């Protein structure tokens, strides 16, 4: 009997020992998979930040190139050329850093395609500059708006392909991690009574580490999305400020109009008619893309844009083109990097903010609710800020005078509902102007 008990105890000890060794093997395998997952995740976050910065910087180069093509100031052209070259050198360094992290043949193939597209872009940009130096401004503009945009689109496709490749790798390793974690948990719960305490410790450790990885992954992913959004927002602000700076504005117009648009939208969200439309996401889109409402002015020459007096009929016709041109520029810049809804809101603001409620506006003579709501809101904010601001062709109006004109044009130039909202938020507008004037 004693021998049987000894054999049973010995068998239990051996079972516990073998089970412990096996679990240790699974545990080491799990940690190895986890380390591989963290390595890939960190590289993915780092590389996508590089690619997002590259994409943003090339858009800035595109904006600077457009300004260079349109400027009639030789000193400004030289300054812009220098900025473009500095940004090009920075992009080359960024591409070299990205190359150092490339490992697989598939990654190398996509990277070489990206690098080749960038060099093609730079080559076409130099061609546009050469044409501009020979006074062929129209041809150089064609290069910038059409040929260079094609190169930008090719680059964005490569960046998207590389990001998708990384995400597939992360998904595969994540599945291995989850599988390893599940197997370990099952084996730990089947451990013999003699190793029960060890089993509990290991399960707790596994669950703790598994939870940490998920938390770290979500935190990294959230931070990365915030970084990309911030880069895109800075690019949008930079483009808008570049346009504003051409007519001597320091960027106050785009900041003010974005704030007025947000104020109007938030007030309208309290009304039954608009509460379903004016969601937080929609209001955020209005505020984000309002600064791009006049981006089409980059296609208007300095002679017209900086004219201190009243424009002739011919000059005004050329100025009016900035609305439709703005929509086309936004479509080419944002398509492929933003979803369809965001692109549509940005295009509508730029294209239709000079349309009038009674149908006498431009570029298409739309009337009433055929004009997109975002553009109708932008129209009130844009005109009000233009009235109270000092421009090269006029002195600023008082707030009373400006509000008087807005109210007078309700039902003619402006949507009556939006005018009512703007009148209701007047105390907020006045407080904002006191703080920022």
- Domains assigned to the chain: 2-230 (1.20.120.30), 247-436 (1.10.3210.10)
> H helices of 102-195, where?
105-133, 137-142, 148-189
Over residues 298-323, mean pLDDT: 84
Most confident of 64-73, 111-120, 312-321: 312-321
- Better pLDDT: 281 or 133: 281
The count of other CB atoms within 10 Å of the CB of residue 341 is 11
Q: Please tell me the distance from the alpha carbon of residue 37 to that of residue 50, in angstroms, as a whole number.
A: 20
Q: What are phi and psi of 391, to 5 degrees?
A: -125, 170
Peptide bond preceding 363: is omega within 30 degrees of 0, i.e. cis?
Answer: yes
Does residue 252 carry a pLDDT above 60? Answer: yes
pLDDT of 320-336, one tens digit each?
998 998 888 888 777 76
Backbone angles phi, psi at 414, to 5 degrees: -115, 155
Of the candidates 90, 39, 96, 43, the one whose C-alpha atom is nearest the C-alpha of residue 64 is 90
Contacts of 203 (CB under 8 A, 6+ apart): 185, 188, 189
Q: Is the pLDDT of residue 191 over 50?
A: no
| DSSP tag of 71 | -
Quick one: pLDDT band at residue 194, thresholds 50, 70, 90? very low
pLDDT digits (tens, 9 = 90+) for 112-127: 888 888 888 888 778 8
Of residues 21 and 372, more confidence is placed in: 372
pLDDT band (50, 70, 90) for residue 374? very high
Q: What is the reported pLDDT for 221?
A: 55
CB-side neighbour CA atoms (13 Å) of 396: 10
Residue whose tokens read 């553009």: 375
The H-or-E segment that residue 331 falls in is helix 313-334
- Span 245-254, mean pLDDT? 65
Q: Are 365 and 355 in contact (CB under 8 A)?
A: yes
Q: Which residue has the tokens 């509508």?
A: 348
pLDDT tens string 6-56: 555 555 566 566 666 655 555 555 555 556 666 666 777 777 777 777 777
- The pTM for the full model equals 0.56
pLDDT in tens, 262-287: 999 999 999 999 999 999 999 999 99
Tokens 């010995």, residue located: 10
Higher pLDDT, 434 or 94: 434
pLDDT, position 367: 97
**Beta partners for residue 391, in sequence order:** 394
d(CA 47, CA 98): 6
pLDDT for position 416: 97
Exposure of 364 by Cβ count < 10 A (0-12 exposed, 13-18 middle, 19+ buried)?
Answer: middle
Q: Residue 241: what pLDDT?
A: 62
């Amino acid at each position: 009997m004693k021998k049987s008990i000894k054999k049973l105890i010995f068998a239990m000890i051996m079972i516990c020992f073998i089970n412990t060794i096996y679990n240790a093997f699974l545990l080491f395998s799990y940690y190895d998979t986890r380390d591989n997952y963290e390595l890939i995740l960190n590289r993915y976050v780092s590389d996508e930040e590089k690619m997002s910065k590259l994409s943003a910087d090339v858009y800035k180069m595109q904006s600077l190139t457009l300004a260079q093509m349109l400027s009639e100031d030789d000193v400004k052209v030289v300054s812009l050329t220098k900025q473009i070259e500095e940004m090009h050198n920075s992009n080359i360094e960024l591409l070299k850093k990205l190359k150092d992290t490339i490992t697989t043949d598939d990654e190398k193939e996509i990277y070489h395609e990206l690098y080749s597209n960038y060099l093609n872009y730079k080559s076409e940009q130099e061609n546009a500059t050469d044409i501009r130096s020979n006074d062929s401004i129209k041809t150089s503009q064609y290069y910038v708006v059409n040929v260079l945009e094609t190169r930008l689109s090719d680059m964005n496709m490569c960046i998207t392909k590389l990001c998708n490749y990384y995400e597939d790798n992360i998904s595969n390793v994540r599945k291995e991690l989850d599988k390893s974690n599940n197997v370990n948990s099952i084996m730990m719960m089947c451990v013999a009574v003699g190793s029960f305490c060890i089993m509990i410790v290991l399960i707790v450790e596994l669950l703790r580490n598994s939870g940490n990885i998920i938390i770290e992954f979500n935190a990294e992913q959230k931070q990365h999305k915030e970084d990309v959004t911030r880069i895109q927002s800075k690019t949008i602000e930079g483009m808008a400020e570049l346009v504003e700076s051409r007519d001597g504005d320091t960027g106050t117009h785009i900041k003010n109009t974005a704030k007025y648009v947000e104020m109007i939208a938030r007030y309208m969200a309290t009304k039954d008619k608009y509460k379903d439309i004016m969601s937080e996401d929609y209001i955020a889109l209005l505020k984000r893309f309002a600064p791009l409402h006049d981006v089409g002015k980059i296609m208007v020459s300095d002679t017209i844009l900086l004219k201190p007096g009243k424009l002739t009929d011919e000059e005004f016709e050329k100025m009016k083109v900035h609305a439709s041109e703005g929509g086309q520029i936004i479509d080419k810049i944002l398509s492929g990097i933003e979803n369809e809804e965001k692109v549509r809101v940005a295009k509508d603001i730029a294209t239709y903010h000079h349309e009038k409620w009674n149908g006498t506006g431009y570029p298409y003579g739309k009337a009433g609710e055929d004009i997109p709501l975002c553009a109708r809101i932008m129209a009130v904010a844009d005109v009000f800020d233009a009235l109270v601001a000092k421009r090269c062709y006029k002195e600023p109006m008082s707030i009373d005078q400006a509000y008087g004109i807005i109210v007078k044009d309700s039902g003619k130039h402006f949507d009556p509902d939006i005018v009512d909202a703007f009148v209701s938020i007047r105390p907020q507008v006045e407080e904002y102007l006191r703080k920022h004037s």
